[in-house]
Amino acid sequence: HIDTPSVLYMDGVSVSFDGFKALNSLSMFIAPGEMRAIIGPNGAGKTTMMDVITGKTRPDSGTIVFNNQHDLTRYDEADVANLGVGRKFQKPSVIESLTVFENLEMSLKGGRSIWQALMHRLSGAQKEKLDEILELVNLSDRTHHLAGDLSHGQKQWLEIGMLLGQEPQLLLIDEPAAGMTDEETMKTAELFKTLAKKHSLMVVEHDMDFIEALDCKVTVLHEGHVLAEGSLATVKANPQVIEVYLGR
């Protein structure tokens, strides 16, 4: 499709619901190892954008290419995940009655039932990976605590750790900072900067302090397409962006 290496290439993607264009010729390019923040008012199309990338919604038209080779519009959700696209919804979905360790253990074994997963032993390499993830997501001192006893922020980190077990190349993360304390929010920004050394990230977020801490390129969505793109300072100074956020 294109010569430049890209993790995600979207061109002219449109989706209508009963004649209403939730995405209206959306185009975007995410480079390998790039972190991108996505902002935009309610109804801008952020969720629909993640739905079309992950195969949950099929676009009416347009191109979505993963890794310069896979046409994602042809795959369903499970296949997109297997290709290496991890999605984190806003609400954490950890298993509260299992420990942090057991939740991670299950994610590393993937696809089995809880009981099969708990009976199955981790390989040496998987154990190392699990320790690495625990360290990365700031949960080493909570290894044997029940997930249900974690703070909201810690549950979000655990779920991100569980996604990492699948070794995704691209992570789509929906409003991670919502409901977090200021300290958790800043630790999450640090975590994402570390993750961006190995993965590409798309982070949908409303919290401007968090986005500032991410220190990455920002895309502003409005009415299903890209209204502005650039540093946070640049898009904040854009008259059209100001109009969209303040002029309503």
Binding site for ligand ADP (CB under 6 A): 17, 22, 40, 42-48
Residue appearing with tokens 């190349």: 169
User: Measured from the CB atom, is 139 or 220 closer to ligand ADP?
Assistant: 220
C-alpha distances out from residue 82 to 45, 76, 87, Å: 25, 10, 12
Q: Can you state the percent helix, strand and coil of the chain, rounding each to 5?
A: 40, 25, 35
CB 155 within 8 A of CB 141: no
- The residue length of the chain stands at 248
Strand partners of residue 221:
226
Cα of 45 vs its chain's centroid, Å? 15
C-alpha distances out from residue 112 to 29, 100, 102, 146, Å: 35, 17, 13, 20
Structure tokens at 146: 């029940």
Q: Which of 161, 190, 168 is nearest to 100 (CA)?
A: 161
Compute the least distance from the CB of residue 109 to ligand ADP, in Å. Answer: 32
Query: What torsion, rounded to 10 degrees, do the Cα atoms 23, 83, 134, 96 define?
Result: 70
Compute the least distance from the CB of residue 235 to ligand ADP, in Å. Answer: 16
Compute the least distance from the CB of residue 218 to ligand ADP, in Å. Answer: 15
Compute the least distance from the CB of residue 178 to ligand ADP, in Å. Answer: 13
Q: Where are the beta strands (DSSP E) in 45-163?
A: 61-66, 70-71, 85-88
Fill in the amino acid letter for 94: V
User: Measured from the CB atom, is 19 or 124 closer to ligand ADP?
Assistant: 19
DSSP conformational letter for 146? B
User: Measured from the CB atom, is 200 or 219 closer to ligand ADP?
Assistant: 219
Compute the least distance from the CB of residue 221 to ligand ADP, in Å. Answer: 6
Compute the least distance from the CB of residue 177 to ligand ADP, in Å. Answer: 16
User: Measured from the CB atom, is 105 or 174 closer to ligand ADP?
Assistant: 174
